[in-house]
A and B are shown apart, each in its own frame.
Chain A
Amino acid sequence: MKGQKRKFPPEDVEVSDRSSLTWESQRQFVFSVSLSKYQRGQELPEPSLRRSVLIANTLRQISLEASGAASVEASPGSSPSELPAEEEESVFTGVPSARHQPAEAVINGHSALSTGSMVSSGYSSNCVTTAISSILSALDSTIDGSPQAAPRTPLRSLENLSRSPEGSAAWVKQGVRGYGGGSWEPQEECRVRDSNVEVMWSSYLSDLTVEDLFQDIDTSLLERDMGVLGLRGSGGGFPAGEDLLRYLPPFSPASHPFSLSLNQNLKCLPSFSSFSPMSSSSSSSSSLSLPPSSLFSGHNHAREGLDLEHLMEILVES
């Protein structure tokens, strides 16, 4: 404590007046400190459960107080301030899920971080970049960020895919569960992440669906390959675009800067020529035993049908 300089020194005296600026700045300071603490804690190989729970509860309390305070302020300029509160809440539902297992929160942490930056830097101009980073952090699964959990049967993930009424959210639900090198999430964690991601989606991307993003992908290739491999999933009846995205493999932990992760993620969209046609009579189960490396080898091949620059333009213009 001696001689430490803080970048954003808060008043040490607790300010009880909620409408004052000092309270607000204090609240934001505590929020950002809590967030970084939480993330750093999750990055440890074995986060302390008590500590994570306490920090998460503090974050939740701050978010709730923020939304309470925001609704009280009935000023014309209040809509931007309300939005960060909503985002904090919605983001925050993402936070507790990852508490209990090592290294799972970065996915939520990323989106939360981006929201944090939204809170402090204002909303309007950062909207799109934030939306992008949240999409990509959703793709950027850290499930296998640290080796953990018992190996699950490879069948499990695909078995759990269900027909999804929600459009865009389903994409992420399926996409996030990729083939991993033996590092499956237990089922409850999948559900948890899904619901968090759905919440994130609903608040950020109401007018931007996944279909829009991937409209220019030529899925004809996929359909052919899919037919060959007999990979129509157990549920059947998926729209083709979502099938494509089902096979997004998991990604390495996100320590990449924004642009790099964008490239990485888009590269990892499977290039379907890399699916070596197994025996056409193969059942779903045997085709699922495709080693992950076959997907990753598509990594370096041309991203057929995918123009990175074009995609970026679409995102930026919308």
Chain B
Amino acid sequence: MLGRMEAAARMWHVGMTSSLHIRVLTLIVDAICPPPRRAALCDRAVGLCVQPELLNEAMAGVAGGNDFQWCFSQVKGAIDEDVAEADIISTVEFNYSGELLATGDKGGRVVIFQHEQESKNRPHLRGEYNVYSTFQSHEPEFDYLKSLEIEEKINKIRWLPQQNAAHFLLSTNDKTIKLWKISERDKRAEGYNLKDEDGRLRDPFRISSLRVPVLMPMDLMVEASPRRIFANAHTYHINSISVNSDHETYLSADDLRINLWHLEITDRSFNIVDIKPANMEELTEVITAAECHPNQCNVFVYSSSKGTIRLCDMRAAALCDRHSKFFEEPEDPSSRSFFSEIISSISDVKFSHSGRYMMTRDYLSVKVWDLNMENRPVETYQVHEYLRSKLCSLYENDCIFDKFECCWNGSDSAIMTGSYNNFFRMFDRNTRRDITLEASRESSKPRATLKPRKVSTGGKRKKDEISVDSLDFNKKILHTAWHPKDNVIAVAATNNLYIFQDKIN
């Protein structure tokens, strides 16, 4: 995508005919703009074509991140300071259309929000997300063999592409994956021949005539039912699930193994990666995340605690212990410390929507990798470099083990990840600009624009800046999600879910 845009930009020169200008502009806009806004932007860009230097301005304004403004839309969750552990959100995920937004929490519950259509009389607002369905996905279990309790915390939710009126998602805790069907019921059959309205069988002798049930409308009811339970395949804790592009299989990864499942078959799974050493004493590396390629159903990647990513091709062998590609950035010897390995541990890996790039999150940075280049990332973004000098303290209080996630926007032009003090960061890949925003109740007035935040590192702290030592390390944003098409983001701050949108001018 980046390449296409650059190529198109290079084609531009003043002497071109205006029709060619328009075609080039369209190419550029196509590359960087999310679909719903392309038409409007194309028009705007075309209007600028008489002054080509304004083209940059047009481009900059589009990509998710900076030149438009993020504003508060909604917040879900309790306000009071006392946070129940079970209410802490542990995963956030939009579905493929962006119509539904699912969250999982430590108490094993899944809450799904649905996007309401924009109202006709207030078109400048996007619609809101309201609760669509709530259900208990996982319960705490007890492993009698090991005398251990299995936590009900939902580690990941992944939606399946929609194939009929119902919605399907996979949710997983440490040990068990479940396929849930969420369906609507808005009609009820009334007038059964053999049953009363309350379901009791009628006395056959009383039945004198035949009547056929009639479907009557009823209040919308959303039902969630578990359709498959995929259990007993993981000895260690599941950290990732990923639906394959064939829409038939999915993979699940724990610390040492990755299994491939068929969505219809629950009693068998194929082990495709196993890094458990024969002698556990030799274990120095664990799997931290895994994901299927968005287009190629034979390709997947998994990241490790040593900061490496392995890309595997399932066509090569049944057991993909030998990688096809190995991504690792050589260590910078000048920044070596006792904690170098810990902070290099990758906490999340995500393919771009295009499938050309992947992004990894380690403790201090986000890296974008080109799948064609294994020896170093193409882009590196520092999330909170000011923490590098505090690693010792962060090691002591265990914050250094926090696992932050990251996400792409729909057009792959921007990336987002969380930080501490309820800050989250967005990076625009085109303009290389970044912004720090905060998810807090203070900035939660309807349609209030979010003010960029800054952390001061030096001695002098400017007004509105916050010093590193004042950061609240208990307020961490680990889970964020970006709408697949629009500039709408969902940010999980402990037990609250914040939804922000861009301001449509």
Contacts and interface: CB of A to CB of B under 8 A. Distances in A.
B339 interface: yes
B331 interface: no
Contact of A57 (B341, B389, B396, B472): B341
Nearest to B341: A57
Interface in B410-437: none
B12 interface: no
A13 B457 CA distance: 13
A49 B237 contact: yes
Contact of A49 (B236, B394, B398, B470): B236
A30 interface: yes
Given A2-B469, A14-B337, A53 B286 contact: yes
Interface in B357-406: 389-399, 401
Given A14-B391, A33-B396, A54-B401, A49 B338 contact: no
Interface residues of A, number: 42
B184 interface: no
A179 B279 CA distance: 24
Nearest to A56: B284
Interface in B221-262: 236-237, 255-256
Contacts of A222: none
Contacts of B219: none
B391 A33 contact: no
B256 A61 contact: no
B126 to A, nearest CB: 38
A50 B389 contact: no
B345 interface: yes
Interface in A15-62: 26-27, 29-30, 33, 37, 45-46, 48-51, 53-54, 56-58, 61-62
A146 B146 CA distance: 9
B87 interface: no
B255 A14 contact: no
B95 interface: no
B473 interface: yes
B212 interface: no
B280 interface: yes
Given A33-B396, A53-B283, A53-B305, A146 B147 contact: yes
Contacts of B390: 12
A53 B469 CA distance: 29
Contact of B255 (A2, A49, A147): A49
Nearest to A96: B281
A10 interface: yes
B342 interface: yes
Contacts of B398: 37
Contacts of B146: 102, 147-149
B256 A53 contact: no
B145 interface: yes
A83 to B, nearest CB: 22
B341 A12 contact: no
Nearest to B337: A14
Interface in A143-158: 146-150
B285 interface: yes
A273 to B, nearest CB: 35
A48 B145 CA distance: 18
Interface residues of B, number: 43
Interface string A172-195: 000000000000000011011000
Interface string A269-311: 0000000000000000000000000000000000000000000
Interface in B114-167: 145-149
A50 B283 CA distance: 10
Given A14-B337, A57-B341, A99 B393 contact: no
B352 interface: no
A316 B285 CA distance: 43
B401 A51 contact: yes
B148 A97 contact: no
B393 A1 contact: yes
Central interface residue in B281, B338, B339, B392, by most chain A CB within 10 Å: B281
Contacts of A6: 396
Contacts of B470: 2
B256 A49 contact: yes
B342 A50 contact: no
B288 interface: yes
A100 interface: yes
Contacts of A57: 284, 341
Contact of A100 (B145, B280, B288): B280
A27 B473 CA distance: 24
B338 A58 contact: yes
Given A13-B389, A54-B341, A58-B339, A192 B279 contact: yes
A178 to B, nearest CB: 20
Interface in A64-96: 93, 96
Contacts of A45: 147-149
Contacts of B284: 53, 56-57, 96
Contacts of A102: 146, 148
Contacts of B395: 30, 33
A35 to B, nearest CB: 13
Contacts of A27: 338
Contacts of B285: 53
B283 A100 contact: yes
A37 B342 CA distance: 14
B12 to A, nearest CB: 47
Given A12-B389, A30-B338, A50-B345, 17 more contacts: A1-B469, A1-B471, A2-B469, A14-B389, A14-B392, A26-B392, A45-B148, A49-B236, A49-B237, A49-B286, A53-B284, A53-B286, A54-B341, A93-B281, A99-B280, A100-B280, A149-B146
Interface of A: 1-2, 4, 6, 10, 12-14, 26-27, 29-30, 33, 37, 45-46, 48-51, 53-54, 56-58, 61-62, 93, 96-97, 99-100, 102, 146-150, 188-189, 191-192
Q: Which 9 A-B pairs have the closest CB atoms?
A: A100-B280, A147-B147, A49-B255, A97-B281, A14-B337, A192-B281, A50-B286, A30-B338, A54-B342
28 contacts: A1-B469, A6-B396, A12-B392, A14-B337, A14-B338, A14-B391, A26-B338, A27-B338, A30-B338, A30-B395, A45-B149, A50-B286, A50-B345, A53-B305, A54-B305, A58-B338, A58-B339, A61-B338, A93-B281, A96-B281, A96-B283, A97-B281, A102-B146, A147-B147, A148-B148, A149-B146, A188-B280, A192-B281
